Amino acid sequence: MGFNRREFLRIAGIGTLLGVGGKSVAGALSGDSGRASLSLQGERNPNALVGKRWAMVYDFRKCSERIRREGRCNECAAACHQVHNVPDFRNPKDEIKWIWSETYEHAFPGQEHEYLSEELEGKPFMVMCNHCENPPCVRVCPTKATFKRPDGIVMMDYHRCIGCRFCMAGCPFGSRSFNWRDPRGKDKDGRPFIARTNPEYPTRMRGVVEKCTFCAERLAVGKMPACVEACPEKALVFGDLEDPDSEVRALLRSNFTIRRKAELGTGPQVYYIV
Amino acid sequence: MYDGGKILIGLAIFLCILASPLVYNTVMGKASFVPEPKVPGQEQRCVMSTPFMRSEHMKLLNTWRDEVIRQDKRLYETADGRVYDMSLTKTCMKCHESKAQFCDQCHNYVGVTPYCWDCHTYPKEK
């Protein structure tokens, strides 16, 4: 074999030069024209609500006062689930929930004890995604289908969700639900899982995880989240924590508030006035 | 080759059977089928030019999707200054009212099944 080291290096060198040069020439010639003409940037709606750190304050006293008076109070959850086409699979194991009711003991484990006051013991609290400062669901998502927006909203991109459910394991609040079944399907009696589909909002498909998005699509057109708008007692208040004059900051200044499982260090952004 | 004649005849018959659907469609004139997506009556201008939309609408929709979800930018301004909501259901399907008569026409023809409609809603077919 007449192929010594010197010749090998020469051939390899020439080959590399040709390869590098060829690639750049090919790139310049082909020039992805389709993408170039799509580089137009989108814009925000001028009416959009813009915040630096969105948060929710929930006044339990108003909510429980209404329950005492009228026996029930679930307008927020009903409105949310209607607006977002949240399916009702009529089976607690398959349940999809964006905002739901949890007893004090379950919502705030570790803060309960044997001798709780009557106002708190077993009383229902509305809970939802806490849009954590340091969201564990985002950290574990292998496809970046869930991510934190600069304004603090923990968003879901259903297009990218592969249904691995790592986020559900990561979330300490149970705020994420997996679609075990096709949300557009029907149960045994022929009743659809989504009673009335809101044509303005997509449904989900089987095999993706869904959650509360602080109504990102409503904020974008200048509306408050659906639950806030639906609450007849104004017990839910939504606003920007970075704005010292916002309503949420005023409430946090003047009331004692607790957060769910704050000791875990995820920085939940839903505050409860008890 | 043993039994060469028989093998060749067998191969010829096999090829005839294989080609029969193609021949049938050519003879019946179905081979030149061209899909005819129904264009909307009232609105004459789309977001982009027709040739662009025909070949690149999927890229446009992907760009829209990323802008809306990732960047929270929901308005799209065309080169000549028209502004659209970047939404498949709320913008595209407002003019292209019928999925069956518009989208499905070409998608069926080229044999693609985009998963847009697994989640996004479309107007009820009349």
Using one digit for the tens of pLDDT, what is the confidence trace for A64-97? Answer: 999 999 988 899 999 999 999 999 999 999 999 9
- Is the per-residue pLDDT at A39 higher than 60? no
Q: Which pLDDT value is given to residue A137? A: 97
* Cβ–Cβ gap B123/A199 under 8 Å: yes
What pTM was computed for the model? 0.80
For range A197-222, the mean pLDDT: 95
Q: Which pLDDT value is given to residue A245? A: 95
Residue of chain A minimizing CA distance to B64: A42
Distance between CA B27 and CA A274 in Å, rounded? Answer: 80
Which residue among A45, A149, A202 places its CB closest to the CB of B120? Answer: A202
Q: Which pLDDT value is given to residue B41? A: 74
* Residues of chain A contacting residue B119, judged by C-beta atoms under 8 Å apart: 158, 202-205
- Alpha-carbon distance A244 to nearest alpha carbon in chain B (angstroms): 24
Q: Which of B47, B93, B119, B124 is best to mutate for the A interface (most A CBs within 10 A)? A: B119
Residue of chain B minimizing CA distance to A203: B119
* Cβ–Cβ gap A37/B52 under 8 Å: yes
Residue of chain B minimizing CA distance to A217: B72
Is A199 an 8 Å CB contact of chain B? yes
For range A154-166, the mean pLDDT: 96
Residue of chain A minimizing CA distance to B63: A38
Q: How confident is the model at residue A26 (pLDDT cuts 50, 70, 90)?
A: low
- Is the per-residue pLDDT at A269 higher than 80? yes
